Amino acid sequence: MSTAAGNHATPLAVHGLTKRFGARTALQSVTFQLAPGELVGIVGPNGAGKTTLLSILAGVLAPDEGELSLSGRDVGWWAGWVPQSPALYSKLSVAENLRLFARLEKVADPEAAVQGMLRQIDLADRADEEVGRLSGGNQQRVNIAIGLLSEPSLLLLDEPSASLDPRQRERLWEFISGLGTTVVFSTHDVGEVERYATRVLLLADGELLFTGTPAELEQAVGGDPRDLEAALVSFLHQRGH
């Protein structure tokens, strides 16, 4: 992976990303750029390559080909990453989890970062509670908080609302929308994309088929502008997927 020259107007630049697992190509020459403050939803059928793309952006997987940069730097270290399953130590308290990752991320003032994040996720009163005793929604908040500890300019979320009930999901999206950070998230819930995403990346069989606003996707298939899901299915059908 090489580092492309970037600029502040283009926080994330991805060019020609390809990833293979044996004979199977999980990502095929994916290219896109993001503007600051964008909320980008990655959608597509199962096996489309959504998690693979996010894992490469997060630095968990290395691409076989292609390059990406975040304001001119390697993405992995600088982006905040929130995996699909909460990556937390259930025997540690909320504050201890935050403190551990703040120290590992070499945050300048770990204790201040922990207290700030506890307030931000509205769990200051449960700071000493073991994470394993929290609800799924609150665990996901802590999970996201860890991704935000280093104050990244890009936050990567892999199906952040997958295990949440509608009320928890609503609270989570209010929280994410209020961050003001560039966010890339994957989801199977097209409604979330329609409501919160400023841009859609549509992946199928490792190929990036579409990038644009939800409205542009609906217009592309000439369907009902109020039904993004129907537009997405129709788009995939038209492209032979």
Q: How far is the CB of 241 from another protein (least distance, A)?
A: 26
In the complex, the residues that contact another protein under the rule CB under 8 A are 55, 58-61, 76-77, 81, 83, 85-92, 96, 100-101, 103-105, 130, 146
> Are 15 and 63 contacting, i.e. CB atoms less than 8 angstroms apart?
no
CA dist., res. 67 & res. 60, Å (int): 15
Burial (CB count <10 Å: 0-12, 13-18, 19+), residue 84: middle
- Give the DSSP per-residue string, 45-83: STTSSHHHHHHHHHTSS--SEEEEEETTB-HHHHSEEE-
Q: How far is the CB of 59 from another protein (least distance, A)?
A: 4
- Helices 166-177 and 136-148 cross at an angle (nearest 10°) of 20
Decide whether 91 or 239 has the Cβ nearer to another protein: 91
Q: How far is the CB of 153 from another protein (least distance, A)?
A: 16
Decide whether 92 or 124 has the Cβ nearer to another protein: 92
CA dist., res. 235 & res. 41, Å (int): 16
Decide whether 95 or 123 has the Cβ nearer to another protein: 95
Q: How far is the CB of 238 from another protein (least distance, A)?
A: 34
Decide whether 42 or 95 has the Cβ nearer to another protein: 95
> Are 3 and 72 contacting, i.e. CB atoms less than 8 angstroms apart?
yes
Decide whether 59 or 212 has the Cβ nearer to another protein: 59
Q: How far is the CB of 83 from another protein (least distance, A)?
A: 6
